[in-house]
Protein backbone atom coordinates (compact mmCIF):
# COMPACT_ATOMS: atom_id res chain seq x y z
CA UNK A 1 0.00 0.00 0.00
CA UNK A 2 2.77 2.43 0.97
CA UNK A 3 4.68 1.54 -2.19
CA UNK A 4 1.63 2.25 -4.35
CA UNK A 5 1.07 5.58 -2.58
CA UNK A 6 4.70 6.50 -3.18
CA UNK A 7 4.36 5.92 -6.93
CA UNK A 8 1.14 7.97 -7.08
CA UNK A 9 2.74 10.93 -5.29
CA UNK A 10 5.83 10.74 -7.51
CA UNK A 11 3.68 10.69 -10.64
CA UNK A 12 1.65 13.68 -9.45
CA UNK A 13 4.79 15.67 -8.67
CA UNK A 14 6.26 14.87 -12.08
CA UNK A 15 3.03 15.88 -13.84
CA UNK A 16 2.79 19.13 -11.87
CA UNK A 17 6.40 20.03 -12.71
CA UNK A 18 5.88 19.23 -16.37
CA UNK A 19 2.85 21.48 -16.67
CA UNK A 20 4.46 24.26 -14.59
CA UNK A 21 7.46 24.62 -16.88
CA UNK A 22 6.27 26.16 -20.12
CA UNK A 23 9.03 26.30 -22.72
CA UNK A 24 8.89 29.34 -25.04
CA UNK A 25 9.49 28.52 -28.71
CA UNK A 26 8.36 31.81 -30.27
CA UNK A 27 8.12 35.34 -28.91
CA UNK A 28 9.19 38.96 -29.20
CA UNK A 29 11.73 40.01 -26.58
CA UNK A 30 12.32 43.71 -25.98
CA UNK A 31 15.86 44.72 -24.99
CA UNK A 32 17.00 47.99 -23.47
CA UNK A 33 20.44 48.75 -24.92
CA UNK A 34 22.59 51.17 -22.96
CA UNK A 35 26.00 52.56 -24.01
CA UNK A 36 28.18 55.02 -22.13
CA UNK A 37 29.05 56.98 -25.25
CA UNK A 38 31.32 59.43 -23.46
CA UNK A 39 33.65 56.65 -22.32
CA UNK A 40 34.10 55.50 -25.91
CA UNK A 41 35.37 58.95 -26.90
CA UNK A 42 38.87 60.39 -26.70
CA UNK A 43 40.05 63.22 -24.46
CA UNK A 44 41.05 65.55 -27.28
CA UNK A 45 39.58 69.06 -27.40
CA UNK A 46 37.00 68.23 -30.10
CA UNK A 47 35.58 65.22 -28.25
CA UNK A 48 35.62 67.08 -24.93
CA UNK A 49 33.56 69.85 -26.50
CA UNK A 50 31.11 67.31 -27.96
CA UNK A 51 30.66 65.57 -24.59
CA UNK A 52 29.07 68.69 -23.15
CA UNK A 53 26.10 68.28 -25.52
CA UNK A 54 25.61 64.52 -25.12
CA UNK A 55 23.46 62.64 -22.64
CA UNK A 56 25.44 60.43 -20.26
CA UNK A 57 23.99 57.27 -21.83
CA UNK A 58 22.81 56.31 -25.30
CA UNK A 59 19.68 54.26 -24.60
CA UNK A 60 17.63 52.49 -27.26
CA UNK A 61 15.20 49.58 -27.50
CA UNK A 62 15.61 46.62 -29.82
CA UNK A 63 13.30 43.69 -30.54
CA UNK A 64 14.48 40.09 -30.76
CA UNK A 65 11.80 38.21 -32.72
CA UNK A 66 12.01 34.45 -33.10
CA UNK A 67 10.04 31.39 -34.23
CA UNK A 68 10.87 28.04 -35.88
CA UNK A 69 14.45 28.33 -34.58
CA UNK A 70 15.03 31.50 -36.63
CA UNK A 71 15.44 35.02 -35.30
CA UNK A 72 15.87 38.67 -36.21
CA UNK A 73 17.22 41.41 -33.93
CA UNK A 74 16.62 45.02 -34.95
CA UNK A 75 16.03 48.57 -33.73
CA UNK A 76 12.63 49.60 -32.35
CA UNK A 77 12.84 53.06 -30.76
CA UNK A 78 14.96 55.55 -28.83
CA UNK A 79 14.61 56.42 -25.18
CA UNK A 80 13.48 60.03 -24.66
CA UNK A 81 16.45 60.38 -22.29
CA UNK A 82 18.89 59.95 -25.18
CA UNK A 83 20.35 63.20 -26.52
CA UNK A 84 22.91 62.50 -29.24
CA UNK A 85 23.57 63.71 -32.83
CA UNK A 86 21.65 62.13 -35.70
CA UNK A 87 24.73 60.37 -37.18
CA UNK A 88 25.15 58.43 -33.92
CA UNK A 89 21.55 57.25 -34.20
CA UNK A 90 21.59 56.20 -37.85
CA UNK A 91 23.99 53.32 -37.17
CA UNK A 92 21.69 51.62 -34.66
CA UNK A 93 18.60 52.26 -36.77
CA UNK A 94 20.08 50.57 -39.86
CA UNK A 95 21.71 47.53 -38.25
CA UNK A 96 19.96 44.13 -38.14
CA UNK A 97 20.86 40.52 -37.38
CA UNK A 98 19.12 37.44 -38.84
CA UNK A 99 19.98 33.95 -37.58
CA UNK A 100 18.87 30.56 -38.88
CA UNK A 101 19.85 28.05 -36.21
CA UNK A 102 18.54 25.18 -38.34
CA UNK A 103 21.25 25.74 -40.94
CA UNK A 104 23.84 27.42 -38.71
CA UNK A 105 23.92 30.55 -40.88
CA UNK A 106 23.42 34.26 -40.31
CA UNK A 107 22.75 37.45 -42.30
CA UNK A 108 23.84 40.72 -40.73
CA UNK A 109 23.45 44.29 -42.00
CA UNK A 110 25.83 46.80 -40.43
CA UNK A 111 26.18 50.48 -41.23
CA UNK A 112 29.89 51.27 -41.25
CA UNK A 113 30.95 54.87 -41.89
CA UNK A 114 27.66 55.68 -43.60
CA UNK A 115 27.52 52.58 -45.84
CA UNK A 116 25.36 49.51 -45.27
CA UNK A 117 27.23 46.23 -45.63
CA UNK A 118 25.55 42.81 -45.54
CA UNK A 119 27.44 39.85 -44.13
CA UNK A 120 26.28 36.32 -44.98
CA UNK A 121 28.28 33.69 -43.13
CA UNK A 122 28.17 30.87 -40.60
CA UNK A 123 27.05 31.70 -37.06
CA UNK A 124 30.17 32.65 -35.07
CA UNK A 125 31.36 30.15 -32.47
CA UNK A 126 31.88 31.64 -29.01
CA UNK A 127 33.91 30.14 -26.18
CA UNK A 128 31.58 29.96 -23.16
CA UNK A 129 32.15 29.10 -19.52
CA UNK A 130 28.93 28.60 -17.53
CA UNK A 131 28.99 29.63 -13.85
CA UNK A 132 26.74 28.96 -10.85
CA UNK A 133 25.59 32.57 -10.53
CA UNK A 134 21.87 33.24 -11.12
CA UNK A 135 19.56 36.24 -11.42
CA UNK A 136 16.02 36.94 -12.59
CA UNK A 137 15.47 38.95 -15.78
CA UNK A 138 12.04 39.76 -17.26
CA UNK A 139 10.48 37.11 -14.99
CA UNK A 140 12.86 34.31 -16.03
CA UNK A 141 15.50 32.61 -13.92
CA UNK A 142 18.82 33.08 -15.71
CA UNK A 143 22.27 31.59 -15.30
CA UNK A 144 25.52 33.48 -15.87
CA UNK A 145 28.05 32.56 -18.54
CA UNK A 146 31.31 34.21 -19.55
CA UNK A 147 32.28 34.24 -23.23
CA UNK A 148 35.13 35.46 -25.39
CA UNK A 149 34.66 36.98 -28.86
CA UNK A 150 37.09 38.34 -31.45
CA UNK A 151 40.01 36.62 -29.69
CA UNK A 152 40.19 38.73 -26.53
CA UNK A 153 36.90 40.56 -25.85
CA UNK A 154 35.04 39.14 -22.85
CA UNK A 155 31.24 39.21 -22.67
CA UNK A 156 29.08 38.42 -19.64
CA UNK A 157 25.70 36.86 -20.33
CA UNK A 158 22.68 35.63 -18.39
CA UNK A 159 20.59 33.04 -20.23
CA UNK A 160 17.42 31.05 -19.55
CA UNK A 161 16.71 27.55 -20.81
CA UNK A 162 12.97 28.23 -20.46
CA UNK A 163 13.29 30.02 -23.82
CA UNK A 164 14.52 27.32 -26.14
CA UNK A 165 16.31 29.26 -28.89
CA UNK A 166 20.09 29.48 -28.45
CA UNK A 167 20.21 33.17 -29.31
CA UNK A 168 20.97 36.58 -27.92
CA UNK A 169 21.44 40.25 -28.82
CA UNK A 170 23.48 41.12 -31.94
CA UNK A 171 25.72 38.21 -32.98
CA UNK A 172 26.06 36.73 -29.48
CA UNK A 173 24.65 33.19 -29.20
CA UNK A 174 25.57 29.58 -28.50
CA UNK A 175 24.30 29.01 -24.96
CA UNK A 176 21.71 26.35 -23.98
CA UNK A 177 18.90 28.88 -24.05
CA UNK A 178 18.13 32.54 -24.76
CA UNK A 179 20.40 35.32 -23.47
CA UNK A 180 18.30 37.91 -21.63
CA UNK A 181 21.16 39.94 -20.16
CA UNK A 182 24.48 40.83 -21.78
CA UNK A 183 27.35 43.15 -20.85
CA UNK A 184 30.38 43.99 -23.00
CA UNK A 185 32.65 46.08 -20.74
CA UNK A 186 35.18 46.98 -23.44
CA UNK A 187 32.39 48.55 -25.48
CA UNK A 188 30.73 50.11 -22.40
CA UNK A 189 27.45 48.52 -23.50
CA UNK A 190 24.77 46.40 -21.86
CA UNK A 191 21.61 44.67 -23.11
CA UNK A 192 18.80 43.76 -20.74
CA UNK A 193 15.45 42.18 -21.62
CA UNK A 194 12.54 44.28 -20.35
CA UNK A 195 9.64 42.06 -21.47
CA UNK A 196 8.85 38.83 -23.32
CA UNK A 197 5.70 38.77 -25.47
CA UNK A 198 4.78 35.11 -26.07
CA UNK A 199 1.66 35.99 -28.12
CA UNK A 200 3.77 36.54 -31.26
CA UNK A 201 2.75 34.36 -34.23
CA UNK A 202 3.86 35.95 -37.55
CA UNK A 203 6.99 33.94 -38.43
CA UNK A 204 6.92 35.42 -41.97
CA UNK A 205 8.41 38.64 -40.58
CA UNK A 206 11.65 36.85 -39.69
CA UNK A 207 13.63 37.31 -42.90
CA UNK A 208 17.20 38.19 -43.88
CA UNK A 209 18.22 41.43 -45.56
CA UNK A 210 18.59 41.12 -49.33
CA UNK A 211 21.54 42.78 -51.06
CA UNK A 212 23.22 42.75 -54.47
CA UNK A 213 26.57 42.13 -52.80
CA UNK A 214 27.28 40.27 -49.59
CA UNK A 215 30.51 39.61 -47.71
CA UNK A 216 31.77 36.95 -45.37
CA UNK A 217 33.47 38.05 -42.14
CA UNK A 218 36.99 37.58 -43.49
CA UNK A 219 36.35 39.50 -46.72
CA UNK A 220 34.70 42.49 -45.06
CA UNK A 221 37.32 42.67 -42.31
CA UNK A 222 40.10 42.82 -44.90
CA UNK A 223 38.25 45.54 -46.83
CA UNK A 224 37.62 47.68 -43.73
CA UNK A 225 41.17 47.35 -42.44
CA UNK A 226 42.52 48.44 -45.82
CA UNK A 227 40.17 51.44 -46.07
CA UNK A 228 40.84 52.61 -42.50
CA UNK A 229 44.56 51.82 -42.15
CA UNK A 230 45.46 55.51 -41.76
CA UNK A 231 42.53 56.51 -39.57
CA UNK A 232 44.00 55.73 -36.18
CA UNK A 233 47.48 57.19 -36.45
CA UNK A 234 46.92 60.78 -35.29
CA UNK A 235 48.75 62.39 -32.37
CA UNK A 236 51.29 60.74 -30.08
CA UNK A 237 48.89 58.65 -27.96
CA UNK A 238 49.42 55.23 -29.51
CA UNK A 239 47.50 53.47 -26.74
CA UNK A 240 44.39 55.58 -27.30
CA UNK A 241 44.68 55.16 -31.07
CA UNK A 242 44.78 51.39 -30.63
CA UNK A 243 41.75 51.52 -28.31
CA UNK A 244 39.76 53.53 -30.83
CA UNK A 245 40.73 51.19 -33.66
CA UNK A 246 39.76 48.11 -31.67
CA UNK A 247 36.38 49.54 -30.66
CA UNK A 248 35.67 50.45 -34.28
CA UNK A 249 36.38 46.87 -35.46
CA UNK A 250 34.52 45.24 -32.55
CA UNK A 251 31.42 47.37 -33.16
CA UNK A 252 31.58 46.65 -36.90
CA UNK A 253 31.45 42.88 -36.39
CA UNK A 254 29.45 42.51 -33.15
Beta-carbon contacts of residue 19 (< 8 Å; ≥ 6 apart): none
Q: In CATH, what number is assigned to the domain containing residue 200?
A: 2.50.20
- Range of the structural domain that residue 29 is part of: 25-253
Instruction: Give the residue among 21, 27, 23 at the shortest CA–CA distance from 199.
Output: 27
pLDDT in tens, the chain (254 residues): 444 444 444 444 444 333 345 789 999 999 999 999 989 888 777 777 877 778 889 999 999 999 999 999 999 999 998 988 888 888 899 999 999 999 999 999 999 988 999 999 999 999 999 999 999 999 999 999 999 999 889 999 999 999 999 999 999 999 999 999 999 999 999 999 999 999 987 788 899 999 999 999 999 999 988 888 778 777 678 888 889 889 999 999 99
In a domain? residue 157? yes
In a domain? residue 38? yes
Number of domains, the chain: 1
Partners of 215 in the β-ladder: 119
In a domain? residue 18? no
In a domain? residue 138? yes
Q: Helix, strand, or coil here: 102?
A: coil
Give this prediction's pTM. Answer: 0.88
In a domain? residue 19? no
pLDDT of residue 235: 67
Amino acid sequence: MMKTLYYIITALLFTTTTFAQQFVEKAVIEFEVSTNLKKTMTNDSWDEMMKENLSDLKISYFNYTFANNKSVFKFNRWSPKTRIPKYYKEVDEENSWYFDFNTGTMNMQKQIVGTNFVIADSIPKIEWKITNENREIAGYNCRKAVGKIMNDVYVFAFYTDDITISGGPCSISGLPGMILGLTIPRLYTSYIATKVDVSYSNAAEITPVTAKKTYDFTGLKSLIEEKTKDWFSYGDNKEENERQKNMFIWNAFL
